[in-house]
Amino acid sequence: MHDRERMSGSEIRAGGGLALVFAFRMLGMFMVLPVLATYGMDLTDATPALIGLAIGAYGLTQALLQIPFGMLSDRIGRRPVIYAGLVIFAAGAVLAATADSIWGVVAGRVLQGAGAISAAVMALLSDLTREQHRTKAMAMIGMSIGLSFAAAMVIGPLLTRAFGLSGLFWATAGLALLGILLVAALVPKAPQVLQHRESVVARQALGATLRHPDLLRLDFGIGALHAILMATFIALPLALVEQGGLPREEHWWVYLVALLVGFFGMVPFIFYAEKKRRMKGVFCAAVAVLLFCELYFWLLGGGLVALVVGAVAFFTAFNLLEASLPSLVSKVAPAGGKGTAMGVYATSQFLGAALGGIFGGWLYQQGGLGAVFVGCALLCALWLAIAVTMREPPYVTSLRLPLSPAALRDAALRERLLAVPGVADAMVVAEEAALYIKVDTQKLDRTSLERLIDPAPARAEA
């Protein structure tokens, strides 16, 4: 179970190359977020409701195509799906860049979202990395997503100030095409397509995933979080102009300060939640802070300083929740169900982003900034009411381990595994000659586990 080898050069290239692809794609997706509410009104036919639709439109096609494209990559290969997705994403950016009306931007964002390659990228990473190093490689992608979101909040306003909204979309198209070159040049060829239940959606697990109460709570949570993010970024940039007196060209420094302080502010809470095993309490407190922020923006965000303070608190809570939710899904998902659970989770995230943009724009058109903040506060309150009903998550780690032929012949293997101290759940997949298992590392009897999954050495010693 303990392979102390370092990651190979090909694994480092795979993790680093695919992390960069994710980063460029996320940059292109989110750079528009802090600027569309202020610059988009210059477009022909623009209304607040249509601005909201443009902000959230990409989430509609992402939500619809995320799981199907992942399954398609199982059949025709990862690279064709990834290349096609990046080309579609670039085409959507070009369509938005050449548009002179809000309708063209909406169409471009819809097309961008149709390049739904996240599941295929994660599956390719699984094909290219060994079990003992896969978590490290996936951590590279996780870090790239967080960093690219932060960079997008700052780079988006700076690019738009220099080159306009059209220039921002042209830069987005260029990033997508650069992603294709990175996959071709840096990412090694996979020897085979693996059916790996920790990183791909398994059709047979979909029904159970959609009926799992705790997973459904978390799916609602990520949908609500991104709905609140999108709706808030319809109102907050406008509030900075109208109430804070800050020109739209200067918004970048507000997001830079808020994101930096918010990132370092959330780190101690992450460590506390994991070390003290208090994830539910910290999670619910972060949702409550998000609720407070929306009420604060509504009632007290009347000046620049107040808005900046509110933005810092908002991003501290947002970053904490964004980091906690995938970890909670991983802990709660049954053995062998993590890939399917994460697929449904990603779909919920994109659907929330779409609905947040659409309804945020509609609320602003109907009632101004206050209506958006109140709407977000109500959604936070509903989320908090749901979150407090969840159970404290199991503090377990998901593993996929190869099984020896002797272990595969043991019909009672799963029952024996569940009797090992520290084993919370187990699933034997004979066609993969693999064991999916969830263990509490603080309680695990490793010796007993190793004897069960590879009994031959134990018999030799006897």
303 and 418, same domain (yes or no)? no
* Per-residue pLDDT at 96 exceeds 60: yes
SS3 of residue 403 by DSSP:
coil
* Per-residue pLDDT at 208 exceeds 90: no
| Unique residue bearing structure tokens 């996320």 | 26
Mean pLDDT for 50-72 is 91
Per-residue pLDDT at 2? 46
Q: Cβ atoms within 10 A of the Cβ of 298, count?
A: 20
* Per-residue pLDDT at 201 exceeds 70: yes
CA atoms lying within 13 Å on the CB side of residue 83: 10
- The answer to whether residue 148 sits within a structural domain is yes
Q: What is the pLDDT of residues 240-259, one digit of tens each?
A: 999 999 999 999 999 999 98
Q: What is the pLDDT of residues 435-454, one digit of tens each?
A: 888 888 888 888 888 888 77
Beta-bridge partners for 397? 439
Q: How many domains does the chain contain in total? A: 2
* Per-residue pLDDT at 190 exceeds 90: no
Residue 460, CA distances (Å) to 257, 410, 412, 454 in order: 62, 18, 21, 11
- The answer to whether residue 462 sits within a structural domain is no
- The answer to whether residue 217 sits within a structural domain is yes
Q: Tell me, what CATH number does 144's domain have?
A: 1.20.1250.20
User: What does the alpha-carbon distance between residue 108 and residue 106 come to, in Å, rounded to a whole number?
Assistant: 5
Per-residue pLDDT at 435? 85
Mean pLDDT for 41-49 is 93
Residue 316, CA distances (Å) to 18, 270, 278, 305, 309 in order: 27, 11, 18, 17, 11
430 and 367, same domain (yes or no)? no
* Concatenated DSSP letters of 173-195: HHHHHHHHHHHHHHSPPPSS---
Residue of 122, 124, 70 whose CA lies nearest to 330:
122
369 and 442, same domain (yes or no)? no
Which DSSP category does 418 fall into?
Answer: H
433 and 328, same domain (yes or no)? no
Domain range for 403 is: 397-453
Mean pLDDT for 391-417 is 84
- The answer to whether residue 116 sits within a structural domain is yes
248 and 290, same domain (yes or no)? yes
- The answer to whether residue 379 sits within a structural domain is yes
SS3 of residue 435 by DSSP:
strand
User: What does the alpha-carbon distance between residue 386 and residue 383 come to, in Å, rounded to a whole number?
Assistant: 5
Per-residue pLDDT at 214? 93
* Per-residue pLDDT at 456 exceeds 90: no
Mean pLDDT highest for which of 133-147, 164-178, 327-341? 164-178
90 and 217, same domain (yes or no)? yes
The answer to whether 244 and 307 are in contact (CB under 8 A) is yes
Per-residue pLDDT at 228? 97
Task: Please give the model's pTM, rounded to 2 decimal places.
Answer: 0.89
The answer to whether 253 and 312 are in contact (CB under 8 A) is no
203 and 349, same domain (yes or no)? yes
Mean pLDDT for 183-199 is 77
User: What does the alpha-carbon distance between residue 411 and residue 331 come to, in Å, rounded to a whole number?
Assistant: 27
16 and 138, same domain (yes or no)? yes
404 and 381, same domain (yes or no)? no
Per-residue pLDDT at 3? 47
User: What does the alpha-carbon distance between residue 316 and residue 261 come to, in Å, rounded to a whole number?
Assistant: 7
Mean pLDDT for 60-66 is 92
Instruction: Kindly state the tokens that stand for 55.
Output: 């902000």
SS3 of residue 197 by DSSP:
coil
Single residue among 389, 407, 432 that ends a domain in this structure: 389
Name the band, by pLDDT with cuts 50, 70 and 90, for residue 194: low
* Per-residue pLDDT at 462 exceeds 70: no
Mean pLDDT for 367-381 is 96
* pLDDT over 70, % of the chain: 95
| Unique residue bearing structure tokens 């958006």 | 372
285 and 429, same domain (yes or no)? no
Mean pLDDT of the chain: 88
